[in-house]
Amino acid sequence: METSRNFRFRNWAGNESCRPEVIYFPKSEAEIQQVVREARAAGKKVRVVGGAHSWSPMACSDEYLVSLDHCNHVKEVDRFQQRVRVQAGIRLKSLNKFLAERHMAMKQLGSISEQSLAGATATGTHGSGINFQVLSSSIMAMRIVQGDGEVLELKENDERLDAFRVSVGALGIVSEITLQCTDAFELREDSSPMRFEDALQQLPELLQKNDHVKFWWFPHVEQMMVYRYQRVQDQPAKRNRLMKWVEDTLVADYVFALFLRMGNRFPEKIPAINNFISALHLKKIKRIGKSYELFNVPMPPKHRESEYAIPLEHTAAALLALRQMIEDNKLNVNFVVEVRFVKGDTYWLSPAYKRDSCYIGCYLYGDTRWQAYFDLFEKLMQQFNGRPHWGKEFTPALHDFKLLYERWNDFLTLKAQTDPQGIFRNVFMDKIFGKN
């Protein structure tokens, strides 16, 4: 098995890093078991890293670190049932292409597909569509290496699956996942700018009439971009390749990044810059494309992210309060606020547990000023019974998770059963779950 004892882990955003004693690169479930047994014998803690696209320090470890980058193969395809069994480290972007070649697709996706499948599902990653749940809803079966090195196999009718679907890596190392997919489909996009208040007023109708809806709002701007998508079959994609390059590469990688750097250097100019960017970006869009291409957006410049899920019915009040918070505190916010909508589920630690939810993501470019913004944002989200996205930035001490999640104690009991020695802990996990 490949290992390294001179390795520094750093996440994509660059806000979290660690130097483990050793990092392992297993290629099979048996090798994952070997790592866990070695850690148990040595009294070491183990954490797992996937695509490193989490903003939280959940993956960090100064002891043993496991990368699942080599556990990235498709093990089985059942075209009749539209299911695939894959190793947990496969990247979503690779999975999307594999499925597309077989005229299949994921039911829903988030904004990017750089993450590993296990990492994305374990943290409750989601897309947007009030009739669609988090990505973990596609999981039909799992195999997990527990703290004793033994493999736990969870099948479709196992009640514990709802705990493991969003487990934040606390219950073991996922080795394999069986996914329920669907026939490949296209998305028809019909998006346009709307006044901030008008978009909030029309939200119920927007959610009812469209399969997928999301908002992008640049603070200090009167309008927001309202993205609307309908799922269609057998309609050819109509996205010009040159325009795709302009939008996905030229604008995303160079133009937008240039304005972000300008705003970071001259914060007082951010409101004017945001209005200029919005004038360029807020335009009507009509196009048809493959589902995974339109679900995803171009990779943005590196930035900081905090995101909370609140009950859907609080959407308008929360966004109005957020806008007022930014203005009252004279915060110059240089990055978009992303607003998405997700159907409630029954997964014990899912932020959308038992409630249709609005996810509000506050993002900021640069190494300064984000702390004040996120501190105020977190306190505001608490007023709306917000639950933090496990893969984004949040302060565990601000939350009583027992009140936010009714199955919290059940999860702790299961955690003690699957990891009795606490092998899968780290400092951040102890802040969430305690040191038991």
The tens digit of pLDDT for each residue in 196-219 reads 999 999 999 999 999 999 999 999
Predicted confidence band of residue 246 (pLDDT cuts 50, 70, 90): very low
Please name the residues in contact with 340: beta carbons below 8 A apart, sequence gap of 6 or more: 126, 127, 128, 214, 215, 358, 359, 361
Q: What is the greatest pairwise CA distance in the chain?
A: 61
> Residue with structure tokens 């292409």?
97
> 3-state DSSP call for residue 372?
helix
With 60 as the cut, is the pLDDT of residue 252 above it? no
- Matching CATH topology for 74-183 and 186-397? no
Q: Worst-scoring range by mean pLDDT, 91-95, 178-182, 243-247, 320-324? A: 243-247
Mean pLDDT of 380-395: 97
- Is 186-397 CATH 3.40.462.10? yes
> What residue ranges do the domains of the chain occupy?
74-183, 186-397
Name the nearest CA neighbour of 308 among 393, 205, 427, 206: 393
Angstrom distance (rounded) from CA 436 to CA 430: 8
Angstrom distance (rounded) from CA 102 to CA 138: 18
pLDDT digits (tens, 9 = 90+) for 213-237: 999 999 999 999 999 999 997 666 5
> Residue with structure tokens 């001490």?
397
| pLDDT averaged over every residue in the chain | 92
Q: What is the pLDDT of residue 40?
A: 96
pLDDT digits (tens, 9 = 90+) for 87-100: 999 999 999 999 99
One-letter amino acid for residue 359 of the chain? Y
Q: What number does CATH give the domain 74-183?
A: 3.30.465.10
Angstrom distance (rounded) from CA 231 to CA 407: 34
